[in-house]
Amino acid sequence: MPDTLGTIDRTESVPPSALLHAKITALRHKHVWTAALTGIAMAVGVGVELLALAMFVDWWLDLPWTVRLLFLIVQLALFTYIFVRFVFMPVLRQPDDDELALMVERARPEFRSRLIAAIQLTRPGAISAGISPVLVDAMVEETEAMAAPVDFTHIVSTDKLKKLGALAIFVLVLGMAGMLYGRSTTWDLLKRSFLSNTPVPRKTHVTVLDGNKIIGRGDSVRLEAYVEKGIIPSTGKVEVRYRGRRAQEFSLEQNRDNRIHFGRTIENVQDSFDYVIFLNDGHSGTYEVKTIARPTVSSIECDQEFPAYTRLKPMRRSLGDLSLLAGSLLRLKVIATKDITQAAIALVGMDNEFPMQVNKQNPRELAGEFTVPTKGITGFSVHMLDTEGMESRDSAVYRVDVIPDKAPVVRITYPDRKEELITRQATFLVGMDVVDDFEIAKLRLRYKVSTVEEGAEKMVELDLEGQSPQRLRRRHEWKMGAFNPPLSEGSIIEYWIEAADNNDATGPGVGVSEHQFARVVSESEKRADLLNRAGDYLGSISDVAADQDKLNKNLGVIIREKAGLK
């Protein structure tokens, strides 16, 4: 029997108090939400303040993107820490009934451990042997009686929540008011805080055209900016920072015709530098002017290839002796001081350019060629573009003297008179002397007869007998009786000799003799002319003989005087 009673005592338990459970639950809710709301207020206040501080510092110093990124990371990290530590963790790790009961007993000492005992001893299996359930039940009833008039939620202090909440609301309202007041200014700063590339808002918005520049060492550079919107100042400045040297400031010149434009030219730039342009309270970003050496010619090899008709072999020419035959091909091999992507030969005095080939294995080696024109060219230069996009400038000009292929020189050697008399059946001899630089390709007798086809020009092709001489001397027998219709007396023949060379590159060159005349006369007039000419010859011979006799006498006198003879 005692064993049965003992078993009953060990298995008996006291049911939990619904009143105490409800009060503990209400306490838990208030504790959790008070902590969470306090954390939210703290996160909002700190987040808005840090954001405002970052916007102010950015407006003041115009922070670069990397610094703004660092600021944003710090803000997000701190905001995340506050939210996790003071909002997420209180909700995730809520206090259990024992912790809450101890919290109440610390706040209300009159419970004297009754509340924690009433919570613990009413759990299943909590009453061990030797403890009377009746006593536990009585203690629970007494605790309920003490707890009934007490509001457990009052022990959770909301003072911190009220203060931080009020502060958060104030900061949030102040921030919204600032956003509304600042409008586009604060909105731009907010976008910059979240890493936008929007310019820092100023009273004067400065825009730089073509900010980063690459120039040749020793060139001048023009730094320009304009006021996009806002106040237009009358002056400005540009701050130049050379590497390893102190910054320099230069005043900006305002364009009189367009007041929003400002600029400054910096002469003879030797080193790279960064610059910032300041106009009123606005300033541009930091831009770089990079100086690099321009590509130049290190050496040139020139090879002249003569026109084929000259039959001359190619030859190497020096840059100081470029006297070139027109029509020749000049081949250039150029070595540059830098790696080249494009190059061209520019003819000075003409608008022609000839592209050059760049050696892929050695980008500093260039090859090109051009044909020497007959006129207009005074020299050539080499234009280059290197791998950095830098062009050659003020390239050396190499003088070229063009030697033209002269036309053949033609001279009529017979008859020697400007006008000759001939009969209708005569064989008229025409002697000629022709000289050319290289070869004579064609020879023609051209003439006009006053009484034939109204003096139309005619031509007789003279046979060179398969030769191409450089000099030609010959006579042509021109048979007057072969004319059809026959020549009438009184006709005047105007004739000349024409020669063409073998220049198939820039020619051919054509040489022409002086025009001479032949008049068709009767046989009696021809005989009279011959007699007159014979008389002239005889008279000339008599005059020569008389002059010779006179000279002999004078010579004899001189000899006797020298010898002292009388």
**Tens digit of each residue's pLDDT (9 = 90 or more) over 44-100:** 989 999 999 998 898 888 888 899 999 999 999 999 999 899 999 988 888 888 888
Q: How far apart are the C-alpha atoms of 24 and 118, rounded to whole Å?
A: 12
Q: How far apart are the C-alpha atoms of 415 and 413, rounded to whole Å?
A: 6
Same domain membership, residue 384 and residue 247: no
Same domain membership, residue 244 and residue 140: no
- Sorted by sequence, the CB contacts under 8 Å of residue 145 that are 6+ apart come out as none
Same domain membership, residue 244 and residue 95: no
Count of domains observed in the chain: 5
Question: What residues does 253 pair with on adjacent strands?
Answer: 263
CA angle at 391 for the pair 385 and 395, rounded to the nearest 5°? 105
In a domain, 158, yes or no: yes
Q: How far apart are the C-alpha atoms of 243 and 167, rounded to whole Å?
A: 48
Cα 100 to chain centroid, rounded = 75
In a domain, 55, yes or no: yes
Nearest 5°: phi and psi at 104?
-65, -45
Question: Considering 403, 433, 453, which residue would you say is the last residue of a domain?
Answer: 403
Same domain membership, residue 492 and residue 467: yes
Question: Considering 252, 267, 292, which residue would you say is the last residue of a domain?
Answer: 292
CA angle at 517 for the pair 495 and 411, rounded to the nearest 5°? 55
Nearest 5°: phi and psi at 9?
-65, -40
In a domain, 141, yes or no: yes
Q: What would the two tokens of residue 151 be?
A: 């509001």
Residue 475 near residue 414, CB atoms below 8 Å: yes
Question: Considering 353, 388, 403, which residue would you say is the last residue of a domain?
Answer: 403
In a domain, 235, yes or no: yes
In a domain, 183, yes or no: no
Residue 422 near residue 428, CB atoms below 8 Å: yes
Lowest mean pLDDT among 181-185, 526-530, 552-556: 552-556
Same domain membership, residue 539 and residue 482: no
> Any idea how long the chain is?
566
Q: How far apart are the C-alpha atoms of 178 and 226, rounded to whole Å?
A: 29
Lowest mean pLDDT among 39-43, 123-127, 236-240: 123-127
Cα 317 to chain centroid, rounded = 35
Q: Which amino acid is at 176?
A: M
Torsion angle, alpha carbons of 21, 25, 26, 32, to 10: 160
In a domain, 144, yes or no: yes
Same domain membership, residue 8 and residue 148: yes
Burial class (CB in 10 A: 0-12, 13-18, 19+), 188: buried
In a domain, 190, yes or no: no
pLDDT bucket at 23, cuts 50 / 70 / 90: confident
pTM: 0.58
Characterise 416 by phi-psi region: left (phi > 0), alpha (psi -120 to 50), beta (else): alpha
Concatenating the DSSP letter of every residue in 372-407 gives: PPSSS--EEEEEEEETTSPBP-SPPPEE-EEE--PP
Task: Tell me what the mean pLDDT of segment 391-395 comes to.
Answer: 85
Same domain membership, residue 301 and residue 288: no
* Per-residue DSSP letter, 487: P
Q: How far apart are the C-alpha atoms of 97 and 117, rounded to whole Å?
A: 11
Domain span at 555: 529-566
Same domain membership, residue 217 and residue 93: no
In a domain, 332, yes or no: yes
pLDDT digits (tens, 9 = 90+) for 284-335: 888 999 999 999 999 999 999 999 999 899 999 999 899 999 999 999 999 9
Residue 465: C-alpha distances to residues 104, 436, 439, 469 (Å): 140, 17, 14, 10
Nearest 5°: phi and psi at 497?
-105, 135
Lowest mean pLDDT among 11-20, 174-183, 206-215, 445-454: 11-20
Q: How far apart are the C-alpha atoms of 288 and 335, rounded to whole Å?
A: 31
Same domain membership, residue 325 and residue 469: no
pLDDT of residue 10: 44
Nearest 5°: phi and psi at 4?
-65, -45
Residue 447 near residue 495, CB atoms below 8 Å: yes
Pairing of strands 427-435, 353-355: unpaired
Q: How far apart are the C-alpha atoms of 331 and 316, rounded to whole Å?
A: 10
Handedness of CA 62, 64, 69, 75 (dihedral sign): negative
Q: What would the two tokens of residue 466 be?
A: 């398969």
Same domain membership, residue 162 and residue 56: yes
Select from 354, 363, 301, 311 the least CA-distant residue to 331.
301
Same domain membership, residue 487 and residue 508: yes
* SS3 (DSSP) at 64: coil
* Per-residue DSSP letter, 201: P
pLDDT digits (tens, 9 = 90+) for 424-458: 888 999 999 999 999 999 999 999 998 888 889 99
Cα 94 to chain centroid, rounded = 67
pLDDT at 150 over 90: no
Same domain membership, residue 321 and residue 369: yes
Q: What is the CATH number of the domain that holds 219?
A: 2.60.40.10
- Sorted by sequence, the CB contacts under 8 Å of residue 136 that are 6+ apart come out as 14, 121, 122, 127
- Sorted by sequence, the CB contacts under 8 Å of residue 237 that are 6+ apart come out as 249, 250, 251, 252, 277, 278
Select from 418, 524, 434, 499 the least CA-distant residue to 471.
434
The percentage of residues in the chain with a pLDDT greater than 70, rounded to a whole number, is 93
Lowest mean pLDDT among 124-133, 166-175, 327-336: 124-133
pLDDT bucket at 140, cuts 50 / 70 / 90: confident
